[in-house]
Amino acid sequence: MRVELRWRTEAAEDQTAENQSTEDQTAANPLAMALWRPGPGWTMMSSGVLGGGLGARQWVLNAQVPGWYSRTDPAAHLAELAAGLGLDGPGVGLLTAAQVTELVQRGDEGVQAAVTVGIRVPTWAAAPDGVPDPELAPIRGRGRGRAGPGDAPAGGWRPGTINIVVSVPVPLTPAAFVNAVVTATEAKSQAVIEAGFPGTGTASDAICVAAPTSVATRAAAHVLAGEEGEGFTGPRSPWGARIARAVHAAVLVGATAYREKLGQSALSRAHRPSAIRSRRPGMHSS
């Protein structure tokens, strides 16, 4: 899987220099996009807002957006970005507030996984009914730089997401595509928990599983005429196990690095002049 990095610049929206955090300033700086272009002859299953579902796809674009992304037409936005890159044919588009330049790739016996990891707001899949999701606040355009009920916290908080792209070198049946998504998601959750996060992922995670459908590739994979392809991709099947190991390895590296980054950020905030001045003799921070 050969992933290319492309760049673009977007102006910050409704942000002044004084209330814009260092992280949020990425809105005015170059933003990275990870592009994989296998070309014709591939079938993909994806949860992406652009090109989601199951069908023939020729490329996958994973585009970084500012933390306070507020567009309500993400599919149209991704289509614009794809057109700007000169991408032809159908493809898959994913968005993330994570650093795309920190994309992690891992492989296992022919399976390739490329992931971007941002876990600022980890969440459990089965949360109690009625629990608000703070990750949705920026999407609704609320609480920029202001802390209040239902608003995004002050101090430049921004969302993250885990985007996973998996390439399998053998054709898959439709059922195997579904099973591959399940297997990859289970491996992602295992890695997130092992990295020390209290959750199974984030509320905006996305995935794309790709497999070849060209005649030449099917022949090389010994798929006979009339056969649909590999039918099993559960975690104990040969190809499912490879998917699980590749995704787990990539997400674990990304999640561990992200956790270390959060720790360094907290340490940096604790040593800011304003934080030091606010301390009083005889008081200790916990």
In DSSP notation, 95-108 reads EESS-GGG-EEEEE
Among 50, 37, 26, which Cα is nearest to 1's?
37
Number of domains in the chain: 1
Q: Does some domain include residue 134?
A: no
Lowest mean pLDDT across 43-52, 142-151, 217-226: 142-151
Q: Given the structure tokens 């990891």, which residue do they identify?
A: 117
Full domain range(s) for residue 235: 3-123+151-276
pLDDT(103) > 80: yes
Considering 125-134, 167-176, 206-215, the range whose residues carry the highest mean pLDDT is 167-176
* Chain mean pLDDT for the chain: 81
Per-residue pLDDT, 226: 54
Q: Does some domain include residue 75?
A: yes
Burial of 99 (0-12, 13-18, 19+ CB in 10 A): buried
User: Residue 71: pLDDT band by 50, 70, 90 thresholds?
Assistant: confident
Q: Does some domain include residue 68?
A: yes
- What is residue 74's three-state secondary structure? helix
Q: Does some domain include residue 143?
A: no
Q: Which amino acid is at 223?
A: V
Q: Does some domain include residue 60?
A: yes
Per-residue pLDDT, 130: 83
- Between the alpha carbon of residue 72 and those of residues 68, 80, 152, 265, the distances in Å are 12, 14, 18, 30
User: Residue 62: pLDDT band by 50, 70, 90 thresholds?
Assistant: very high
DSSP 135: G
Lowest mean pLDDT across 120-129, 177-186, 237-246: 120-129
User: Residue 146: pLDDT band by 50, 70, 90 thresholds?
Assistant: very low
Rg (CA), the chain: 21
Q: Does some domain include residue 227?
A: yes
Token representation of residue 180: 């591959």
Q: CA-CA distance, 112 to 75, in Å (whole number)?
A: 26
Lowest mean pLDDT across 92-106, 109-123, 156-170: 156-170
Q: Which amino acid is at 269?
A: R
Per-residue pLDDT, 273: 46
Query: Which phi and psi angles does 268 have, rounded to 5°?
Result: -65, -40
The bridge status of strand 162-167 relative to strand 206-212 is parallel
Residue 59 · residue 87 · CB < 8 Å = yes
Per-residue pLDDT, 227: 60
Q: CA-CA distance, 253 to 102, in Å (whole number)?
A: 10
Chain segment 209-232, per-residue pLDDT in tens:
999 996 555 565 565 555 668 999
Q: Does some domain include residue 136?
A: no
Q: Does some domain include residue 141?
A: no
- For the chain, the 3-state helix, strand and coil shares in percent, each to the nearest 5, are 30, 20, 45
pTM: 0.80
User: Residue 263: pLDDT band by 50, 70, 90 thresholds?
Assistant: confident
Per-residue pLDDT, 218: 57
Q: Tell me which H or E stretch contains 184.
A: helix 174-194
Share of the chain above pLDDT 90, in %: 62
